[in-house]
Amino acid sequence: MHELSLALEVGRLVENHLRATPGRLVRVGVKVGLDAGVEPENLAFCLESVFAGPPFHGAETVLERVPGDVLRLDFLEVDDGRPDD
Amino acid sequence: MAVRTIEVRESLMARNNELAAAVRQRLNDAGVTMFNLVSSPGSGKTTLLERTLVALGEELGIAVVTGDVQTQNDADRLARHTARLVQAVVTGGACHLDARQVTEALDQIDLSATRLIFVENVGNLVCPASWDLGEEAKIVVFSVTEGEDKPLKYPKMFRQSRYAVINKMDLLPHLNFNLDQATAFARQVNPELEFFFTSALHGEGLDEWFSFLRSRVGASPRV
């Protein structure tokens, strides 16, 4: 359940960013410290569930394990719908 | 299509930590001390609080916020021992209290008539360790009916706590629990941890606990 709270917080932060940078969300990167008290497979599953539905529509979630107790939304990849430069 | 990468690097605990900082400031301004009691289920947190309310509830102006996944049984038990407010938070499935719930609970408490608040967190040695509620300190309650290696199994909780209450000491003669080993394991995880040894049911060690609480609460009532 703790992991679900965190996944929902990732969703909230991503929504805030998408308001500033509209586009289709492609990938979401999350960093999880080895001492963060989080079960990574469980969090990955919760993230998958959160990002499967609206308004995210199946964005891929990438979870990276790092030393320490880091727990953060690391990056977003957004398709802005414009042609490549 | 042009896929752009946006570097975010935003903590998932940022919102909780902002709220916790606001709680801490609010309590500091009001001269109120708050402790966050954490433990596994059944360690005796509620019994310890019952005894504490009976002995010090009026003297120290104690209010309690209880967190449970379901039921407000703990709050009801505690309310029998005090005319002061016991605020129940039913988390509805969540495994911990967060700073938002504590913020809302504090709105219901008259801080000007309160000097000490206990948060009785959800019984769980994992998740509550990660959530700052704005407390002065976490106090882990650990009973002798549990394994002495709990501190090694749940290191984050013991690392995050400043105090440990080893409870149900009256049962020690009947159990295969190695007290020295348990405290050594706890100190291995957190060398700064300070201990109390209590039987909340029979009263052993409670005088020391009460003295500690008196020493941590501001000198004059703000009523």
Q: Please state the domain extents for chain A.
A: 2-79
Contact: B11, A76; criterion CB under 8 Å:
no
Cα B123 to Cα A59, B31, B141, B158, B201, distances in angstroms: 35, 28, 10, 14, 19
pLDDT of B222 reads 44
Res B78: pLDDT: 81
Q: Looking at residue A53, what is its pLDDT? A: 84
User: Nearest CA to B41 among B18, B81, B14, B69?
Assistant: B69
**What is the Cα–Cα distance from B140 to B126, expressed in whole angstroms?**
12
- Nearest by CB to B5, which of A13, A72, A77? A77
Map residue B153 onto helix, strand or coil. Answer: helix
A23 contacts on B by Cβ (under 8 Å): 4
The pLDDT of residue B220:
43
- Residue A6 is nearest to which of B7, B12, B156, comparing CB atoms? B12
Question: Of A4, A8, A13, A47, which to mutate for an interface test with B (greatest number of B Cβ within 10 Å)?
Answer: A13
Q: Residue B157's closest chain A neighbor by CA?
A: A37
Residues of B in contact with A81 (CB under 8 A): 1-2
Per residue in A9-30, pLDDT tens? 999 999 999 998 888 999 999 9
Q: Inter-axis angle of helices A2-20 and A40-52, to 10 degrees?
A: 50
Of A1, A72, A85, which is closest to B12 when you measure between CB atoms?
A72
Q: Place A35 in a pLDDT band, splitting at 50, 70 and 90.
A: confident
Q: Does B219 touch chain A (CB under 8 A)?
A: no
Flag whether the ipTM exceeds 0.85. no
Q: What confidence score (pLDDT) does residue A22 get?
A: 83
In this complex, which of B10, B15, B126 lies closest to A2 when CB atoms are compared?
B126
Q: What percent of chain A lies above the pLDDT cut of 90?
A: 49
In the block, which residue shows the tokens 């509805």? Answer: B92
Q: Which residue has the tokens 């504090």?
A: B106
Chain A residue with Cα closest to B69: A1
Q: B1 in contact with A at a CB cutoff of 8 Å?
A: yes
Look at residue B223 in the predicted model and tell me its pLDDT: 41
Query: Are A81 and B7 an interchain contact pair (Cβ–Cβ within 8 Å)?
Result: no
Q: How many CA atoms lie within 13 A of B9 on its CB side?
A: 1
Q: Which fold has domain A2-79?
A: hypothetical protein PF0899 fold (3.30.2320)
Q: Residue B15 and residue B98: Cα distance in Å, rounded?
A: 10
* Angstrom distance (rounded) from CA A22 to CA A26: 12
Tokens of B165: 């209450």
The token pair that represents B135 in the structure block = 């407390």
Beta bridge partners of residue B67, listed in sequence order: B89
Cross-chain residue pair A1–B15, CB shorter than 8 Å: no
Q: Would you call B4 and A21 a contact, using CB atoms and an 8 Å cutoff?
A: yes
Of the CA atoms within 13 Å of residue A37, those in its CB half-sphere come to 23
List the domains of chain B with CATH numbers: 14-214 (3.40.50.300)
pLDDT range class, residue A5, cuts 50, 70, 90: confident
Contact state of A84 with B156 under an 8 Å Cβ cutoff = no
8 A C-beta contact, residue B96 and residue A2: yes
Contact between A73 and B9 using a beta-carbon 8 Å cutoff: yes
Task: Say yes or no for a CB contact (<8 Å) between B2 and A75.
Answer: no
Confidence at residue A85, expressed as pLDDT on a 0 to 100 scale: 58
Kindly report the pTM of this predicted structure. Answer: 0.84
Asked whether the beta carbons of residue A72 and residue B96 sit closer than 8 angstroms, the reply is no
- For chain B, report the end-to-end CA distance as a whole number of angstroms: 65
B94·A83 Cβ contact <8 A? no
| Residues in chain B with pLDDT values less than 50 | 219-223
CB-CB contact of B125 with B43 (8 Å): no
